[in-house]
A and B are shown apart, each in its own frame.
Chain A
Amino acid sequence: MTKNLRVKTSKFIDETYRISFKFNGKLYYGFKGDTLASALLANNVHLVGRSFKYHRPRGIMTAGSEEPNAIVQLHNNTSRTEPNVRATEIEIYEGLEASSQNCWPSVSFDIGGINNILSPLLPAGFYYKTFMWPASFWEKYEYFIRKSAGLGKSPTVPDPDIYEHRYIHCDVLVIGAGISGIMAAKTAAKNGLRTLLIEEKSYLGGSTIYQNSDHFKINNQTSGSWLEKEINEIKKIKNLEIKTRTSVAAYHGYNFLLARENLTDHLPIEKKENKTRHRLLKIRAKKVITATGSLERPLIFDNNDRPGILLSSAIKKYADLFGVSCGEKNIFFTNNDSAYETAISLIQKGINVKAIIDNREEIESKLIYEVEKNNVEVYKGYTVTNTFGYRRINKISIMQLSKDGQKVIGSKKELSCDCLGISGGWTPAVHLFTQSGGKLKFREEDQVFIPNTYSSDQLSVGACNGDFTIDLILSNVTKSLKHFFNLKHIEYENTEVLSSFNKSKRNIWLLPSDKILGKTKSFVDYQNDATAKDIKLALREGFKSIEHVKRYTTTGMGTDQGKLGNMHALGIISETAEAKMGELGTTTFRPPYTPLTFGTLVGRNVGEYFDIFRKTPIHEWHVENNAEFENVGQWKRAWYYPKNNEDMHQAVQRESKAARESVGILDASTLGKIDIQGTDASEFLNRVYTNAWSKLNIGKCRYGLMLNEDGMVYDDGVTTRLGENHYIMTTTTGGAANVLSKLEDYLQTEWPELDVYLTSVTDHFATVSVCGPNSKKIITNVIPDLDLSDKSFPHMSFKNAKIGNIHCRVMRISFTGEHSYEINVQANYGRSVWEKCMEAGKDFNITPYGTETMHLLRAEKGFIIVGQDTDATMTPIDLQMDWIVSKKKYDFIGKRSLYRSDTMREDRKQLVGLLTENPNEVLEEGAQIVADINKSPIEMLGHVTSSYFSPNLNKSIALGVVRGGKNMMGKKLIIPMEKKKINVIVTDPVFLDKENKRLNA
């Protein structure tokens, strides 16, 4: 039934601006300033969702980000759909469509509700225990569990919104713009500090701003109007930046914080277009003041979760701020004065308050007196023992508490109601403080954890520091700000404050009932349906640590991280296990404080901006010539150049044949290049490579293998001696940065006495590699002055040359086994040299080839690729590259490790060639290699590392690593595949031109 529960006009709501929205398909109206929750309550809608495990009907419980129940899905089945949105936070806008989560088929009739009846079968650890049942059992349940559980649906189409990141550096960051935060921000800014004030709500002033009671006064004005003036003042301060709708998600060490600024979520859909939706603020602050306030605690009693049961402070906020009454027959249940504050607010607005049930027995306060004066019955020393009503609370039963609060006594009374406000006192919001590394202490008198020691230059003030009333806030915040900023004077020093709040509280973590505990449902974590009974069961089953109890019962593991009930869970554990609260410690509050969207985290790094990539100077030519690209490290490398609808295989076969039969051309600019200079350069190379370098003549090149200290192959490449004290080293494309870093490490930390300087010059040169029997003709044409005779310019040598006026370095080196040259030229000339070579090669069918053909050609020659044929467990000996390991050198990086008992084992995995029995069968890279397929379990001997169909040999070839493979030449092994097994013969890894005749052809 729809009713209008709007009471007196609120100045925070614009009643001239009506907004329509849909909830579960039904049209409702609210006003500008409403949250979805306040608008629903104004329409008398309490039932908004179902609980996670038992699918119990649940209503709006709070008015803030701690909401456990009113979690909705926005704009279902659209690109802007979003799950897990708290109805208490989202502001309504024209066209908003929200629907309940966690209910199937609908919120009023829910199949999962049957779990509520079956609940004796769903104890703590239900899901863990389910997994331990026979697997077949699980399969039957899975469909229903998946269908009826889960929190919302993720979008299935790309997010249309824009997100961005911003860095902010400030002197002082103040988190929270309640009364304490306003005082802190004003003090900081007035003292000339660059200040940023962040508030998660759309308005400033926290819960004080709507405080309009004669019981709470500052300088003779109501605390609300006093604060309003303060806010108007700070808005004028130039060095104070204020951000509302911005919530701090994470507080890391060294005052580094992440916050999410929400820019468009409250706007009508058409106004969201083309605007930044969320901005992730990365804040580095010199000082941080947390003024995050406190969260009201619920009370734990039987059936404390029905729709219509709200926190007392939420009822006050709905009435005072939104002008909405949560019920027409209100009852409060409390252990402190807070509920009376709410009752007075309601009475002022003419809303019926029937009764207040107070745990405290002998208690007097001005607030209680005023409530009683208004004919509200106050039951002192009573507790609620049960509640009734399925879709909405309609009745409670109450009984008197025993002196020790452990039992109920006397006779039971029943009271009808349609709304129950509960208050268990306050919990300081210390989440961000603990995230930053701060340590808490336990305050016995009112059973709260408060900040104790800070890990950075920061301060907690106000309710999050345990000061819950305005008299304490004014005096303590003033004192601590004065000290924090080292001030002689602070304006709040002589403020007059009146507070009628009596600070007494009777804390009972789990309230007694006339039923035995096993028959009650007293919810501690509403979102995850963890009850007091579950926690006690976990303790009985032997769980002791709070972190274990949390995981076993799932208490505090929902999207709200148990903001409401964690303290009660601790309290119940402490009472049951007879351990002190302060010694139990709390569970860890992990970032984010409230959930963040992926869009916010990713910012602008989407699509082509997802990751940075590097292009060679010749990149555009490859694009223009139809190349397909592959990612190698951060580089985009031409992979193959398909012609006339060729697939990759066809293109690679053509390119490979052309390179061996005439001439191929490769862009090798991505290879890492390190310029090495200094009088000890030769000695340095001697120490970092496995082979000898001191006798390399100027103008000569040498291949080198670099190991880690553990003897495993790390990188390889050709290094050229350019001058007496000058070398240029090439590294693998992916390894360049790490090699440089490793070399710097040895140079700076182990061998600082060596006179050697390293400079990365990878990006400074473009490298064009021309290979094949006709390569010489191309180079002659492009660089006519260069003497290319074998005598003057043999394999593994280098010459400086000029193309026109442009200086270039030419190396005669080969990674394919063909006669080939590499031209290195200053990067900007790369494309022009490439095009000159293409022009010169026209008559020779010069064929550009990509990385795939390069890999195939080198595999024909049995050359390894570090990272493909090796992982971090292969020594040079394993690779059958003993020839490159100097026996004479006293030491080099990794040498000692080659003589460890483990690296000398004969049965290590060793690199071998593999030929399939059927020469047309190409193996899959990564396939496992076995000898005996009938053995159980089958013993895995190794795997295939490289595999191709060689057009030059006209058969399939592969490299692989096999346990003891060196001694298996000619042996038959088996590659078991899903549907077949393939026979292979172990061979030498060099398949083509074992005598290296082609190099000098």
Chain B
Amino acid sequence: MFLINCPFCGEREQSEFKAGGEAHIIRPKQPSELSDDQWAEYLFMRKNIKGVQFERWNHIHGCRKWFNIVRDTSNDEIKAVYKMGEKPPVG
């Protein structure tokens, strides 16, 4: 169980958080103009990387804020935590 440094509350147990899947997938502004394939790409396609991955997390049993983390899925090392709308601090 890892510790996550919520950008609003500080370091807390993983059990206070909910994972929200891959980060930086932006909801299309004009969905009706997309083809079925383009919409399916947004809707269903997610990466599942062994290694460094960008993820959304929600401090659901805390401040309820969503934020992003950069996590190495091979050893669960969290390389960075940053707020929604911010650019990832590491690549």
Mask: chain A, 293-334; 1 = CB below 8 Å from B; 0 = not: 000000000000000000000000000000000000000000
With a cutoff of 8 Å between Cβ atoms, the chain B residues found around residue A890 in the complex are 32
CA distance A129 to B13 in the complex (A): 46
CB-CB under 8 A for A455 and B75, given A252-B1, A890-B32, A896-B34: yes
With a cutoff of 8 Å between Cβ atoms, the chain B residues found around residue A896 in the complex are 31-32, 34, 39
Interchain CB contact under 8 A, A745 and B2: no
CB-CB under 8 A for A253 and B2, given A752-B85, A891-B32, A900-B39: yes
CA distance A749 to B25 in the complex (A): 10
Q: Is B76 an interface residue (CB 8 A)?
A: yes
With a cutoff of 8 Å between Cβ atoms, the chain B residues found around residue A745 in the complex are 20, 58, 66
With a cutoff of 8 Å between Cβ atoms, the chain A residues found around residue B56 in the complex are 749
CA distance A897 to B36 in the complex (A): 8
Which A residue's beta carbon lies closest to that of B26?
A750
Interchain CB contact under 8 A, B3 and A254: yes
CA distance A317 to B10 in the complex (A): 50
With a cutoff of 8 Å between Cβ atoms, the chain A residues found around residue B30 in the complex are 891
Interchain CB contact under 8 A, B84 and A752: yes
Interchain CB contact under 8 A, B43 and A253: no
With a cutoff of 8 Å between Cβ atoms, the chain B residues found around residue A897 in the complex are 39, 43
Interchain CB contact under 8 A, B1 and A256: yes
With a cutoff of 8 Å between Cβ atoms, the chain A residues found around residue B9 in the complex are none
Interface residues of B in 16-65 (CB under 8 A from A): 18, 20, 26-27, 30-32, 34, 36, 39-40, 43, 56, 58, 60, 64-65
With a cutoff of 8 Å between Cβ atoms, the chain A residues found around residue B43 in the complex are 709-710, 897
Which A residue's beta carbon lies closest to that of B78?
A254
Q: Which of B34, B56, B66 has the most chain A CB atoms closer than 10 A to its own CB?
A: B66
With a cutoff of 8 Å between Cβ atoms, the chain B residues found around residue A253 in the complex are 1-2, 75-76
CA distance A896 to B31 in the complex (A): 6
Which A residue's beta carbon lies closest to that of B44?
A710
With a cutoff of 8 Å between Cβ atoms, the chain A residues found around residue B18 in the complex are 741
Contact of A750 among B1, B27, B77 (CB under 8 A): B27
Counting chain A residues whose Cβ lies within 8 A of the other chain, the interface size class is: 20 to 34
CA distance A254 to B71 in the complex (A): 13
Q: Is A437 an interface residue (CB 8 A)?
A: yes
CA distance A895 to B31 in the complex (A): 8
Mask: chain B, 65-79; 1 = CB below 8 Å from A; 0 = not: 110000000011100
Interchain CB contact under 8 A, B66 and A254: no
Contact of A744 among B1, B34, B64 (CB under 8 A): B64
Interchain CB contact under 8 A, A901 and B36: yes
CB distance from A825 to the nearest CB of B (A): 26
CA distance A256 to B43 in the complex (A): 36
With a cutoff of 8 Å between Cβ atoms, the chain A residues found around residue B32 in the complex are 890-891, 895-896, 899
CB distance from A633 to the nearest CB of B (A): 15
Interchain CB contact under 8 A, B84 and A749: yes
With a cutoff of 8 Å between Cβ atoms, the chain B residues found around residue A750 in the complex are 26-27
With a cutoff of 8 Å between Cβ atoms, the chain A residues found around residue B36 in the complex are 900-901
CA distance A752 to B1 in the complex (A): 31
CA distance A133 to B90 in the complex (A): 57
CA distance A252 to B14 in the complex (A): 12
With a cutoff of 8 Å between Cβ atoms, the chain B residues found around residue A899 in the complex are 32
Q: Is A828 an interface residue (CB 8 A)?
A: no
With a cutoff of 8 Å between Cβ atoms, the chain A residues found around residue B26 in the complex are 750
With a cutoff of 8 Å between Cβ atoms, the chain A residues found around residue B64 in the complex are 741, 744
CA distance A897 to B84 in the complex (A): 26
CA distance A744 to B58 in the complex (A): 10
CA distance A605 to B22 in the complex (A): 34
Q: Is A220 an interface residue (CB 8 A)?
A: no
Interchain CB contact under 8 A, A748 and B84: yes
CA distance A749 to B26 in the complex (A): 9
CB distance from B18 to the nearest CB of A (A): 7
CB distance from A946 to the nearest CB of B (A): 30
With a cutoff of 8 Å between Cβ atoms, the chain A residues found around residue B66 in the complex are 744-745, 748-749
Which A residue's beta carbon lies closest to that of B3?
A254
CB distance from B35 to the nearest CB of A (A): 10
With a cutoff of 8 Å between Cβ atoms, the chain B residues found around residue A710 in the complex are 43
CA distance A455 to B2 in the complex (A): 12
CA distance A758 to B4 in the complex (A): 24
Q: Which of A254, A256, A897 has the most chain B CB atoms closer than 10 A to its own CB?
A: A254
With a cutoff of 8 Å between Cβ atoms, the chain A residues found around residue B34 in the complex are 896
Interface residues of A in 229-281 (CB under 8 A from B): 252-254, 256
Which B residue's beta carbon lies closest to that of A760?
B64
CB distance from B20 to the nearest CB of A (A): 7
With a cutoff of 8 Å between Cβ atoms, the chain A residues found around residue B85 in the complex are 752
CA distance A897 to B32 in the complex (A): 9
CA distance A890 to B84 in the complex (A): 26
Interchain CB contact under 8 A, A741 and B76: no
CB distance from A506 to the nearest CB of B (A): 38
CA distance A253 to B56 in the complex (A): 20
CA distance A953 to B29 in the complex (A): 49
Which B residue's beta carbon lies closest to that of A900?
B36
With a cutoff of 8 Å between Cβ atoms, the chain B residues found around residue A752 in the complex are 84-85
CA distance A895 to B39 in the complex (A): 11
With a cutoff of 8 Å between Cβ atoms, the chain A residues found around residue B31 in the complex are 891, 895-896
CA distance A901 to B66 in the complex (A): 33
Which B residue's beta carbon lies closest to that of A255?
B3
Which A residue's beta carbon lies closest to that of B40?
A900
Which A residue's beta carbon lies closest to that of B23?
A749
CB distance from A810 to the nearest CB of B (A): 30
CA distance A253 to B77 in the complex (A): 9
Which B residue's beta carbon lies closest to that of A737?
B60
Which A residue's beta carbon lies closest to that of B34?
A896
Contact of A254 among B2, B20, B27, B40 (CB under 8 A): B2
Interface residues of A in 872-897 (CB under 8 A from B): 890-891, 895-897
Interface residues of A in 458-513 (CB under 8 A from B): none
With a cutoff of 8 Å between Cβ atoms, the chain B residues found around residue A437 in the complex are 75-76
CA distance A58 to B65 in the complex (A): 59
CA distance A748 to B84 in the complex (A): 8
With a cutoff of 8 Å between Cβ atoms, the chain A residues found around residue B40 in the complex are 900
CA distance A284 to B39 in the complex (A): 44
Which B residue's beta carbon lies closest to that of A750?
B27
CA distance A256 to B1 in the complex (A): 7
With a cutoff of 8 Å between Cβ atoms, the chain B residues found around residue A254 in the complex are 1-3, 76
Interchain CB contact under 8 A, A741 and B60: yes
CA distance A254 to B85 in the complex (A): 28
CA distance A253 to B30 in the complex (A): 42
CA distance A284 to B34 in the complex (A): 49
With a cutoff of 8 Å between Cβ atoms, the chain A residues found around residue B39 in the complex are 896-897, 900
With a cutoff of 8 Å between Cβ atoms, the chain A residues found around residue B65 in the complex are 748
CB distance from A774 to the nearest CB of B (A): 43
Question: 4 other contacts beyond A750-B27, A895-B31, with CB at 8 A cut-off?
Answer: A253-B2, A741-B18, A741-B64, A752-B85
Supply 18 A–B pairs (Cβ within 8 Å), ascending by A. A253-B76, A256-B1, A256-B2, A437-B76, A455-B75, A709-B43, A741-B64, A744-B58, A748-B65, A749-B84, A750-B27, A752-B84, A890-B32, A891-B31, A896-B32, A896-B34, A896-B39, A900-B39
Among all A-B residue pairs, the 6 with the closest Cβ atoms: A896-B31, A748-B66, A254-B2, A253-B76, A256-B1, A750-B27
